[in-house]
Structure 1
Amino acid sequence: MDRRSLIKNAGIAGVLAAGVAPAVHAQATVRWRLASSFPKSLDTLFGGAETFSKAVRSMSGGKFEVSVHAAGELMPAFGVVDGVQNGTVEIVQTAPYYFFGKDEAFTLGCAIPFGLNSRQMAAWMNEGNGMKLMREFYAKYNMINFPCGNTGAQMGGWFRKEIKSSQDLKGLKFRIAGFAGKIMERMGVVPQNLPGGEIYTALEKGTIDAAEWVGPYDDQKLGFVKVAPFYYYPGFWEGSAELDFFINQKAWDALTPEYKAIVEAASAQAYVETQARYDARNPVALKQLVASGAKLRPFPQDMLAEAFKHANAIYEETSAKNESFRKIYADLVKFRADQNLWFRFTEATFDRFMQAQKLG
């Protein structure tokens, strides 16, 4: 019997009873390649891409497959934006601020010094204008973004020597990513932008004097405590750091509405899982690092004050010359003001009280 006649005459109930799926539900097989900026050893970061791949495959019944490739397998860690922009791969996983050299506006989609915490970032992206503004910007690079994780507030990094004042930063070769390097440069630092997999060797050989990465769990995996014992906090340049999937616009447009919904849902799953892993694993790793010889130190207050001053000056200068940055940053600043007012009375007050108690 003709399939179209069967569907027309029997109706949907009859079709399902007969075990014949209507053509509208048929989905073509899709195969994508995902290039990550992170090595496999970082199971929180790279693991988010694997979570995404598994979710896409599961929700599509195996029809939509995404193969996941670590940094260096298909392209260099910092080559992923070029790769997805020109269609070499359909999707990449990265930290947007790695690409501030292309345009300073990239950093606003990830983290800026003295910016938003992770909850505030999620609120700006999903309920504020963040997503709309960043997608307008990313469209210039032939790609669309989907947030796929957040590290939460980060540590300030590992130093071979103790930092007692901002003067100790002069001439320091510091691996620091994104816009923060420009601020530290004004404080006398010589910023270095290295992929995660190259940091340990550079510290060990003395090519660099200090390095920031993420926080205790990832830092422990990379072994920094063995070569730079002073562990500073907070990473004021990353009150949170959003990770993104960048998808080639043509590849995205070719997906069916069902597959687009699957990508969005799988990205959200990766986001929640990545941040939850960091929040659960960092406390345990920090204890272990201290037991291994890490010397915890807060950044000197004069250093923080000087960095804050330089940050605001750079934002003003950048806004004057970069229209994309100006437009997005102005919206972020307005949103941040309201968020900090709210958090001052709720989250911050509650956290301060609880941290002063003897628990467990």
Structure 2
Amino acid sequence: MTDRRKFLSGAAATSAGVAAAAVTAASSFPKPAIAQSTPELKWRLTSSFPKSLDTIYGTGETFAKAVSDLTDGKFQIQVFAAGEIVPGLQAADAVTNGTVEMCHTASYYFVGKDPTFALPANIPFGLNARGQVGWLTTGGMDLVNEFLAKFNLHGITCGNTGAQMGGWFRKEIKTLADLKGLKMRIAGIAGQVMQKIGVVPQQIAGGDIYPALEKGTIDAAEWVGPYDDEKLGFVKVAPYYYYPGFWEGGPCLHVFVNKQKYEELPASYKAALKAAGDLATLSMQGKYDLLNPQALKKLVAQGAQLRPFSAEILEAAYKAAQEVYAEISAKNADFKKIYDHQIAFRNDQYLWWQVAEYTFDSFMIRARAKG
């Protein structure tokens, strides 16, 4: 019995010693790399959009929250509306020069710097929404980021509105001739295309569109789609609502990050930014798919006259777009490299779309009418 007690007490002492040694040894181990490489950061993101555009501006907030959630709150991003730090169209400049770490914007706002900026967002007769996201996530964004590096930027896809509407017109547009001399709020490459078919493009800030239409300073204006358009009341002064917005078949938004700051981030934070951008893109598309049909019904009830662009107008605009792209490609190697890659993707995508997606959608549209 005595021997047994000695044995047990000795075993207990040995176990306690082993445990103490293990604790001491563990305390001397280096902390896991992931804990060491996740600093607490507080960055600022300037949006190109006002808070009134809750779907678009709100996508920046969705992105920021996701980054915080994915990093256990260590990476905080504060979102500022257009004008709070810099005007919306100066968002990329503010990131390039380090005024803020990042912005949420539509890259085609900056085609004045280089027309290549249009390609990550959307171009006339480019890709539809799913195609644009698909192209960007299967190699397109790598090419885009090679280009953006020249401006000290790194891009992350963050939102897509889906196909937009063709805009509000004060009078009905039946033929190509009706576009001659028509003053329309439309800018960038889309403006160049429309100019070739007779339109006089005008660049007007969102808040100034309604009074310009009301006074007849302009004859037409494109904005986004039913949900956002309804808020601005265009139906009261320009009742003809055309579709589709062939210049924006699936425009993506992006977060631009200061490249120097981006390169300093740990890998886990870079991954969090990418994942947050993907989540925000999916979220925005879902919101528009929910809200646009509801808003369209309201607009029709308020007197909106839905009209499709004629085949004559679409064909002329398509031809004009090809001319614009050829002209730009001839003198801009960056544009040509990315454009050629995008169009190759588009052509194959629509080959597949013709087989399965389009036939399914067409049947379901007909079936819907039957109840």
Q: Same fold (TM over 0.5)?
A: yes
Residues 254-263 or 177-186, more deviating: 254-263
- Partner-residue secondary structure (3-state), 1:240: coil
Q: Distance in 2 between matches of 1:7 and 1:193?
A: 68
CA–CA separation in structure 1 for the residues paired with 2:211 and 2:22: 67
1:213, distance to aligned residue in structure 2 (A): 1.1
Q: CA separation in 1, counterparts of 2:24 and 2:221? A: 66
Distance 2:23 2:341 in 1: 52
Equivalent position to 2:68, from 31, 38, 57 = 57
Deviation at 1:22, TM superposition (A): 5.4
Contiguous gaps of at least 5 residues in structure 1: none
The superposition leaves residues 215-252 of structure 1 with CA deviations (integer Å, 9 ceiling, x where unpaired) of 11111122211221110001111111010000001111
1:44 alignment partner, SS class = helix
CA distance in 2, matches of 1:227, 1:333: 38
What amino acid does structure 1 have at the position aligned with 2:64? S
% same residue: 55
What is residue 167 of structure 1 aligned with on the other side? 177
Aligned to 2:312: 302
> How many residues of Structure 1 are paired with residues of Structure 2 in the alignment?
349
- Name the counterpart of 2:205: 195
TM-score using structure 1 length = 0.92
Superimposed CA distance per residue, residues 20-62 of structure 1 (whole angstroms, 9 cap, x where no aligned partner): 9757515322111111111101111001001011112222232
Q: In structure 1, how many angstroms separate the alpha carbons of the residues matched to 2:116 and 2:22?
A: 55
The alpha-carbon deviation at position 81 of structure 1 amounts to: 1.3
Check 1:142–1:49 CA distance in 2 against 1; reply closer, same or farther (3 A cut).
same
Q: Could you list the per-position Cα deviations for residues 117-173 of structure 1 after superposition, in whole angstroms to 9, with x for gaps in the alignment? A: 11111221112x311111111111100000001111111001111111111111211
Match of 1:121 in 2: 132
CA contact (8 A) 1:77 1:195 kept: no
Q: Which residue pairs with 2:298 in the alignment?
A: 288
Report the CA distance between 1:71 and its aligned residue.
1.1
Is 1:178 aligned to residue 191 of structure 2? no
Structure 1 residue 269 displacement after superposition: 1.1
Local SS of the residue matching 1:356: helix
Residue-by-residue CA offset, 1:102-121 (whole Å, 9 max, x unaligned): 11111111111111011111
- Aligned pairs for 1:15-94 (under 5 A) are 24-26=34-36, 27-94=38-105
Structure 2 residue matching 1:35: 3-state secondary structure: strand
Report the equivalent of 2:274: 264
Question: Which range is displaced more, 187-196 or 216-225?
Answer: 187-196
Give the corresponding residue for 2:26. Answer: 10
Shift of 1:6: 8.5
Q: Which moved more, 1:52-61 or 1:247-256?
A: 52-61
Could you tell me how far apart the structure 1 residues matched to 2:303 and 2:206 are? 22
Q: Which has the higher helix share?
A: 2
In structure 2, what is the equivalent of residue 247 of structure 1? 257
1:97–1:177 contact (8 Å) kept in structure 2: no
**Matched residue, 2:283:** 273
- Residue 359 to residue 93, structure 1, CA distance change in 2 (3 Å): farther
Q: Flag the structure with larger Rg.
A: 2
TM value normalised by structure 2: 0.90
Q: Which residue is equivalent to 1:108?
A: 119
Tell me what 1:157 maps to. Answer: 167
Q: What code does the residue aligned with 2:117 have? A: F
CA–CA distance in 1 between the matches of 2:227 and 2:262?
34
2:154 is equivalent to residue 144 of structure 1: yes
User: Is the 8 Å Cα contact of residues 39 and 196 (structure 1) preserved in structure 2?
Assistant: no
Structure 2 gaps, min length 5? 1-20
Residue 103 of structure 2: SS of its match in structure 1? strand
